[in-house]
Amino acid sequence: MTEYQGKSAFSGVAIGKIYVFSKGESIIRRTRIEDKEAEKKRFDDAKDLAKEQLNGLYEKAMKEVGETSAAIFEAHRMFLEDPGYLDSVYSMIANEGINAEFAVATTGDNYAEMLAAMDDDYMRARAADVKDVSNRVISILQGVSANGLDSDEPVILLADDLAPSETVQFDKSKILSFVTRHGSMNSHTSILARMMGIPSLITVDYDASTVNGKMGIVDGYKGILIVEPDDDTIAKYQAQKEEDDQKKQLLQSLKGQKNVTLDGHEINVYANIAGPKDIGSVLDNDAGGIGLFRSEFLYLESDTYPTEDEQYEAYKKVVQMMAGKDVIIRTLDIGADKQCDYFNLDKEENPALGFRAIRICLKRPEIFKTQLRAIYRASYFGSVGIMFPMITSVDEVRQIKKIVEEVKAELDSEGIEYGDVDLGIMVETPAAVFESFELAKEVDFFSIGTNDLTQYTLACDRQNPNLTDFADPHSPAVLKAIQMTIENGHKGGAWVGICGELGADTELTETFLRMGVDELSVSPSRVLAVRDAVRKVDLSKYY
C-alpha cells in the first residue's frame, strides 16, 4: 500500500481502479522498417480508427455542448483527409523506410511550423490542431489511449492537468474522481470536480508507471491518494463512503424547501454553470436560478469565435430550461489563466493583472457586441441578467452601458424582440470594493467573485499551488471587503450576491447572512448543502 499526499480540491471518498490519462506526448523514435507497404497499411488503419474516434467525439460533443464546441473534432477529422498531409506521411515511409510513428510526428511538426508562420490568424491557430491530430494517430500506432477515456468501468482519473477542451471528451459517468499532478484550487479541473460533486485532489506527485490500472482510494478530506490499499483500509473507506452517501440522501429531503433561516429570513441560492450541459445538475439539485453562467466556456471549447447565432442558441436553451427562473450570464472572462489561441493575446508578465475580461470587450467592441446581441435575443425567452467581470471604475460601467444601448438600438431597428435585462457587475477587485457605493448607483446588482477578490486583496496568484497556504479566503481583509461591498451595494440601491467558491463554504454561511447578502451562487452539487446551512441559522440572536 502506497500513499501520495496532495491537496483536496473537493471532499469525499472515491474507490476504484486508477486510470492515468496521457496526452500522447512521448518521445517518438526513428526506426528502420523492411516492409514499406505493411507500414503504410498500419498507418491507414490507425488513421481510419482516429477518424472513427473523432466522429464519435463530434456526435458526443454535439449532444452535450452544441455545434460550436463540436466543430473542433470535425476540423481534426478533415486534417486526416488532407492530401498534402497524407502524401507527406506516405512519402517518408516509402522513400526513407522509416516507421509510421516517426513519419506522422515529423509531418505534424512540419505542418504546424508552416501554419504558425502564416500571417493569417485563423491558419496560425490551426497549428495546434495538426499537432493534436498527429498525436492521436501516433497514440493509436503505439497502442496508447491518449485522448479519451478507454474504460468500461468508472475510474479514478489521474492527469498532469486538464484543459476545458479535453474534459468534453470524457464520459462523466465513468469518472469517480480527478487527481492531478499540477493545478490549483481554482484550476479548471477543480472547478469541474466541484460541478460534478466528486472528490478531487491537486498537486499529487504520483508515479504514473507504477499506479496505472491498480486499485486506488481518494480521500478528499485529507488530500490523500492510496494505491493498492489493504483490505482493512478498503473496509474503512467503504464505511466512510456509505456514511457520505447517507448524508447526501438526507439532503435530498430539502428539495422543494425554502432557503429560509430559523427566524424567517429568506435568501436566494442559485447555481454556477459553464453551459447548457450543466442544467440537468442544476434542476436535480433544485437551485433557484443561475447566478453565474460562465460564458467564456463557449469560447474555450471552440477553435474560433462563436458566432452570434451559436451563442444565442446556447443562452436560449439555458433560459428556456430554467423556465422563468433568473439566469445571470457573465460576459466573456478570457485572459489570465483562460486563454484562447484565436484571440491572439500577447504574452504578459502578469496576465492576472493584464488584458483580460471586460478590458478585452471594451478594446474589441465587435466581439463584445456580438455576445451582447446574443444575450439580449435570448432574454426574450425568460428572466436574464448580465454581469460584467473585472470592473475597476464607474467610467468602465458607463462605457459598457453606452455599448448596451447601441446594441438595443440595433435590435430595435431590426425588429428583434428582447426582454427586460438587469445589468450587474462582478466585484472582484479592491478598486470595485472601494468604489462600490458609486458603482451601485449605476447597476441593478453586484455579484462578488471571491476567487479573484481573494487573489487581488492578498496579492496571491490563485493559479500558483505554492501560495495555497497564503491565499486564505477566510482572511479578515477578504471578509471586510465583502462586508463593505454588501453594505455599500444596498446603500446605492443594488442587491448583492456572492458567486465565488467561498459562497459554498458552509462555515461562512451564517457570517454572510449576518452581513446581509441577498444571494449565494454555488456549484450545483453544493446547493442543498448551502440550503441546509441557511435553515440552521438564527439571526434573531444578533438583533
* Contact predicate 340/299, CB 8 Å: yes
> What is the C-alpha to C-alpha distance for residues 201 and 542, in angstroms, rounded to an integer?
38
How many angstroms separate the CA atoms of 223 and 211, rounded? 17
Task: Using the structure block, give the residue that is written with the C-alpha cell 526506426.
Answer: 31
3-state secondary structure (DSSP) of residue 511: helix
Residue 154, Cβ density class (10 Å: 0-12 exposed, 13-18 middle, ≥19 buried) = buried
| Interatomic CA distance for residues 311 and 315, integer angstroms | 6
SS3 content of the chain, % helix, strand, coil (to 5): 50, 15, 35
Cβ neighbors of 496 (< 8 A, separation 6 or more) are 445, 446, 447, 448, 485, 486, 489, 490, 516, 517, 518, 519
Strand 13-20: give its sheet, edge to edge. 2-5, 224-227, 215-219, 13-20, 155-159, 175-180, 200-202, 7-10
Number of other CB atoms surrounding residue 62 within 10 Å: 16
For residues 344 and 54, give the distance between their C-alpha atoms in angstroms, rounded to a whole number: 26
Active site residue 188: yes
CA distance 272 to 333: 14
| Other beta carbons within 10 Å of 264 | 10
State the catalytic residue, choosing from 188, 340, 361, 460: 188
Say whether 76 is catalytic: no
In this structure, the chain runs to a length of 543
Q: What letter would DSSP give residue 446?
A: E
Strands 422-427 vs 384-388: parallel, antiparallel or unpaired: parallel
CA distance 196 to 191: 9
Question: Which residues are catalytic, by number?
Answer: 188, 499
